[in-house]
A and B are shown apart, each in its own frame.
Chain A
Amino acid sequence: MRRALLAITGVAASTTALVVLKGAPGTSQAAQDRPVAEAPVVPGGSAAPDPTPGGVTPSAGPGASAKPSAKAGASRTPGTRTSATARATTAAPRTTTSAPKVTTRTVTGPVVSYKYGSLQVRITLSGTRIVDATGLGMPLDGQSGLRSDDVQARYSGSSGEVVAKQSANLSTVSGATYTSTAYKQSLQAAIDKA
């Protein structure tokens, strides 16, 4: 039994260690990749590791996840969604049995890292139809931020190219090839999963 306790502690400790190791930015690869890739952004990038070991990315992370939900008109979908699930859990208005069938659902693609950072595509489906899409966690500042904005503007949203084409077969945004490719990769995975 003692060994079992040891093993359990070991799993907990190593899981924590793995997450901490990955979670801490400014580690070797991140530090190497970014300044090289985006020389003009170095001020922003170098300012980040100084105050806390959570500089650029944490500020980008919440910012990005907050931004699309406000911008991409997704506020409608999560709204209906939560209310639908809340109804299901309280189970009070069981009469509306047809309601759950038309609920929308969201599927999130994997995190794809590319030259300027990493992103993740979340699509909202109504039945099998994609009604919304957005990229999460994309870099916001500097040159790469502009690329992110270009790609978001072309692809995401309920009137973007994803919804129009209903597939990951999108035309590449010129001047943002890496970002487009990463976006399409995550999107394809999300569509496969859905």
Chain B
Amino acid sequence: MTYQDIHATGRRTGSSAPYGGRPAAPVPPGRPRRGPGGRRALVAAFWLGLVAAVLPWWLATPPGSLADTTDVLTAAGRITGLVAGYLLLVQVLMMSRLGVLERWLGGERLSRAHRDLGATLLVAVLAHLALLVVGYARMEKNSVLGQVGALLTHYEDMVSAFVAAGIMVTVGFTAVRGVRRRLPYELWYHLHLTSYLALLLGYGHQFSNGAQLYEPGPVRTGWIAAYLLVVAALVWGRLIAPLGFNLRHRLRVADVVAESPDTISIYLTGHRLNQIDLLGGQYFRWRFLNPGCWWQSHPFSVSAAGNGRWLRLTVKVVGGHTAELRDLAPGTRVWAEGPSGTFTAAHRTRERALLIAGGSGIAPLRAMLEELPPGAALIYRARTPADVLLHNELDWLAQARHTSVWYVIGSRDDPGPRQVMSPEGLRRLVPDLTRRDVYLCGPGGLVDEAVRVLRRAGVPRRQIHLATFEL
């Protein structure tokens, strides 16, 4: 392996000078594991809900009653309608920032599920619309266009329902990766916000025209209750819980420190920081309340485990927003939502762990290192020695926590990194690779490649943990 620098010499077990003379963090008394139980419960609840959504149709339809094409079209339209109504509720619920969801599923898994369910929802809505229009047109011996007109004029709440469908189609298509990349983020974001409107506008027609829902009874009551629950979750997750957190902890910027030419650390202080239930590797959504930044909120990992005195986030300056963070004045108020994420030491399935970081992806791993039992390993990929962040801290942690740290410097195509990023290379560094949990954080390309390599090396999927915010 060709390491070009003192920072990059093979295996390091830490330097003799602890960072800032600070005493080593006490070894935390084995935190309770947070296994996949919560996640499985939520997934089971999702499937149960889906069954419960379609069950009324199943019970209300006598067997053999779907005699001709019209009946079949209408029935399929009703099923897809029930599915779409349910999925829309789930979609909104997943974005409610409810603490339970954020900590049991994690933002990453949530946003993946949101994307996949979103595509499904879009198709279900279109199918519902098409099937019912055609089905009703056949039933009333009408042309398809004529039936659309009839639905709009003669049926209650159908105008708003069509508008809701239009919104969902717009939101769905702008979320397609290729389209999304071409749109300015703000436009995309505000378009996406209109989905709440779709929830509202699509509400009426389900009850005034829905074959299963207009009759007062347990089904209708349950459906309304589901709506109320989702709205309550939204209000709680987006308003009440963050308000409570911020009133309690009143975070302020204490200092902004340059870690490298393009990376900064922001230190925050506040009240009762020891009462935050923060695990290393989790993140908050931060909103810095100064004139330039208050209107946007971004997720950044905390780059040091909770110590009761300060919080720190380490941010790479890549865009307009992060550039402005460099000029944050000490004392600026900070609005935070969190902590969120399942990318923590408590979620591991094995005793030991291997951490692979790329560039500024070291931040959550650095925090996690403090909570991992001794014997962890860290592989840190960086393009140049200057890109190695928190170098002293890592060395100090390596020594204090008996962690093996390798710095792998160079571009992706250099022989050194290429050799390490192969099943054999990884196995040479970490022989017990397949018996470890692997935590990956870094640029999308590195993470994808590392996952491929790890899978080829035989690491089971459930032992691989990812932290990426890009989709």
> Which residues in A have some Cβ–Cβ distance to B below 8 Å?
1, 3-5, 7-8, 11-12, 15-16, 18-19, 22-30, 54, 56-58, 60-62, 65, 78, 81-82, 85-86, 88-89, 100, 105-106, 108, 110-111, 113, 118, 137, 189, 192-193
Q: Is B52 an interface residue, CB under 8 A from the partner?
A: no
What are 18 contact pairs spanning A and B, CB under 8 A?
Answer: A7-B116, A11-B80, A15-B76, A18-B54, A19-B79, A23-B66, A28-B63, A58-B68, A61-B71, A85-B150, A88-B149, A100-B153, A105-B150, A105-B154, A110-B60, A111-B61, A192-B214, A193-B214
Q: Which residue of A lies closest to B118 (CB)?
A: A4
How many whole Å from A58's CB to the nearest CB in chain B?
4
Question: Is the CB–CB distance between B72 and A19 below 8 Å?
Answer: yes
B interface SS class: helix
For chain B, give the interface size range: 35 or more
Residues 94-119 of B at the A interface (beta carbon under 8 Å): 112, 115-119
Residue of A nearest to B75 (CB): A19
Q: Which of B139-147, B240-248, B277-285, B398-406 contacts A (4 or more CB under 8 A)?
A: B139-147
Contact A78 B208 (CB under 8 A): no
The answer to whether B142 touches A29, judged by C-beta atoms less than 8 angstroms apart, is: no
A108 vs B74: C-alpha distance when bound (angstroms): 12
Q: Which residue of A lies closest to B209 (CB)?
A: A193
Contact across chains for A3 and B116 when beta carbons are under 8 A apart: yes
**A27 to B64, Cβ gap below 8 A?**
yes
Selected from A26, A61, A88, the residue in CB contact (under 8 A) with B67 is A61
* Given contacts A57-B64, A81-B140, A111-B61, A18 and B120 within 8 Å (CB-CB): no
Q: Are B153 and A23 in contact (CB under 8 A)?
A: no
CA distance A193 to B68 in the complex (A): 24
Check B211 against A110 for contact (C-beta < 8 Å).
Answer: yes
Residues on the A chain within 8 Å of B75, using CB: 18-19, 22-23
Contacts of A3 in B (CB 8 A): 112, 116
Among residues of B, the one whose C-beta sits closest to the C-beta of A188 is: B215
How far does the alpha carbon of A90 sit from the alpha carbon of B247 in the complex, in Å?
61
What residue of chain B has the Cβ atom nearest to residue A10's Cβ?
B120
For the complex, what is the distance from the CA of A131 to the CA of B231, rounded to whole Å? 42
